[in-house]
Amino acid sequence: MKPVLIEQWRPLLGLSTHQISNYGRIRSVDRIVPIKRGDQYYTVFRKGKMLALRRSKEFPYLFTSICYVDVNTYKKFNRTVHVHRAVAEAFVRKPKKVKEYEANGGKVYATHIIKDYENNRSNNIKWITHIELINSADRQEIAERAWLKRKHTYGSTGTKKGLLKQTYNQIINKEHHAENNYG
């Protein structure tokens, strides 16, 4: 029999206003929110709720936006949260190799073990290094995603104010160069 994964809730990004579960769900908690209108300061009760998750246009990952208020300055902050990364930060331990890589200034990523991007459960997320990301991913898929992001940012030509257009092959060659020099 497979072990049953019981849903657990932990603070999201160290905030007391939002929580994330090991199932990949995000909720706000019941709280009192400070509000400033003109020179007057008020407090309002907000009932907690489950937050809707959306999919990015360029990438298949689920994300949501959270809004929270600093109680000392009454400033509002908005933050985009990628669910798989938040689940990894809250529930998945980093292997020793990944911790060492990060301590030396390397970038680490949270990735799905099974490429079902809607399954953000903690048992489907793992930490990997940048080199592992390049080695494990389909090179054409990485290149296509990079091109789509560039196309979305700079228009259909992929250029802006004299920036040269990068083709799939140039992007793949750049990744191959990084793999050979650092892997």
Of 111, 86, 122, 92, the C-alpha closest to 12 is 86
> pLDDT per residue over 58-84, tens digit each?
678 899 999 887 767 778 888 899 999
Q: Which residue has the higher pLDDT, 153 or 121?
A: 121
Mean pLDDT calculated for residue range 87-107 = 92
> pLDDT per residue over 46-56, tens digit each?
899 999 999 87
Q: Rounded to an integer, what distance in angstroms lies between the CA atom of residue 51 and that of residue 108?
A: 27
pLDDT of 121 reads 93
Mean pLDDT calculated for residue range 160-179 = 52
Q: List Cβ neighbours of 126 (8 Å cut-off, separation of 6 or more).
A: 88, 92, 110, 111, 113
Q: Are 5 and 22 in contact (CB under 8 A)?
A: yes
Q: Are 127 and 110 in contact (CB under 8 A)?
A: yes
Share of the chain above pLDDT 70, in %: 71
pTM beyond 0.85: no
Mean pLDDT calculated for residue range 98-122 = 89
Q: Which residue has the higher pLDDT, 28 or 140?
A: 28
Q: What is the mean pLDDT of the chain?
A: 79
